[in-house]
Structure 1
């Protein structure tokens, strides 16, 4: 069992679907063209950012989705080379690009569609240069990648970038193994959910509802 269980909480009542978290994630981690580790989905109509129902009786909610950093990660169990692994101290599910052989077994095993990406070609960038933190590992061809919980920032005692930039203060970060942490308090006091709890992965991302 990990010493910590670092994770996130997203308050769906405060999230306005602005995609600031997704854009900051992409910039901070120098994600290549076509790669998004963090996405904002719409629970509503048939298309993104459209409501369901008939005016004036419309409903729409926003749901940000990235790697769930599961406490019981299915991806770790199937990786044949240990490229996908759970950090023993923090509980963060990590990806070692140098070990990854591109078999994509982790993508097949993960029940959360679209949270992992595969680089089919050499990574390309719209402005032709790297962005983000200099400590972000270099993206590689033929490897799987995903949210790292901004590991390069955690190593410096900082929070993930998406937490700091959320204008609605809808995102919270902390240690679920610490009963006095803000995230532990929030899931004690507020109604919440996890994605696909029936899969037994026990995600470390909770959504306040």
Structure 2
């Protein structure tokens, strides 16, 4: 497992990259490279643009119980069928990891669902030079594909590898919590199709919502990815091994099986 210095380095690198991107965007704007954009909205504390309207009074979050995930990829398939990203590109997927540690007789196998974390302090939003990436008042982070110029700044700024440039539209793409389904009173495709009941989505502002009840029942086990970056992710995990918390990418004790034949 990475030591404290290694974990600090993992946290510092994305932070410095986001700072560089923010400075680059400011420079581009000053030279008129984003001249076609509307005036930037007023900024909220912390440098985040003001949020746009969403579901009134709600704050959506997702809880993933890793103990219930069987790695079947039903969520990956249903998301692809619902949102139709290009073949080979995914808004959510379940990655298979091999985790080893001192004292373990054999490596443990972990299936880890990955998706956009819809952070409360999303680093992808302030770096967008045309305000195509934005956050709603209900916490959902979206992309306006009619405004996006495909520069990739947001892709680089995301510390969760949750964004990509859509090969067909040449614009940024990512998980949206299936906001179009939520607005119709339906569950996101990945939640509805999860055979193990590993995913639940809900309103964190509603005290008796299922997600709050599950989180309260397992409050000592709730974890998020890369908390040291202070992005305040709103995808929460139960049963997440400690080796994943401070950085899945680059830790010597965590091996992504797809990268090793």
Mapped partners of 1:5, 1:178: distance in 2: 9
Equivalences, count: 182
Runs of 5+ unmatched residues, structure 1: 46-50, 124-139
Is 1:92 the counterpart of 2:122? The answer is: no
- Within a 5 Å distance, the mapping from 1:152-167 to structure 2 comes to 152-167=180-195
Question: What's the secondary structure of 2:124's corresponding residue?
Answer: helix
Structure 1 residues 1-53: Cα deviation after superposition (integer angstroms, max 9, x where no partner): 873210111101111111100111011111111211111112216xxxxx999
Q: 1:176 aligns with which of 204, 207, 215?
A: 204
Is 1:14 the counterpart of 2:68? The answer is: yes
Is 1:185 the counterpart of 2:213? The answer is: yes
Mapped partners of 1:81, 1:157: distance in 2: 31
Structure 1 residues 59-86: Cα deviation after superposition (integer angstroms, max 9, x where no partner): 1111100111111111111111111101
Q: 2:122 aligns with which of 73, 79, 83?
A: 73
CA contact (8 A) 1:5 1:204 kept: no
Q: 2:234 aligns with which of 201, 204, 208?
A: 204
- Over aligned residue pairs, what C-alpha RMSD do you find? 2.0
Structure 1 residues 141-170: Cα deviation after superposition (integer angstroms, max 9, x where no partner): x21100111122112111101111111111
Question: What's the secondary structure of 1:167's corresponding residue?
Answer: coil
- Within a 5 Å distance, the mapping from 1:144-155 to structure 2 comes to 144-155=172-183
Partner of 1:31: 85
In the TM superposition, structure 1's runs of 4+ consecutive aligned residues that sit over 2 Å from their partners are 55-58
CA contact (8 A) 1:52 1:60 kept: no
Q: 1:5 aligns with which of 26, 48, 59?
A: 59
Flag the structure with higher helix content: 2
Mapped partners of 1:4, 1:151: distance in 2: 13
Runs of 5+ unmatched residues, structure 2: 1-50, 240-261
Partner of 1:48: none
Shift of 1:119: 2.6
Flag the structure with higher strand content: 1
Shift of 1:58: 4.2
- Within a 5 Å distance, the mapping from 1:120-159 to structure 2 comes to 120=167, 123=168, 140=169, 142-159=170-187
Mapped partners of 1:104, 1:59: distance in 2: 35
Mapped partners of 1:159, 1:52: distance in 2: 37
User: Relative contact order (alpha carbons < 8 A, sep ≥ 6): 1 or 2 greater?
Assistant: 1
Q: Which protein shows a greater Rg?
A: 2
Is 1:44 the counterpart of 2:98? The answer is: yes
Residues 56 and 196 (structure 1), Cα distance of their counterparts in 2 relative to 1, 3 Å cut? closer
TM-score calculated relative to the size of structure 2: 0.65
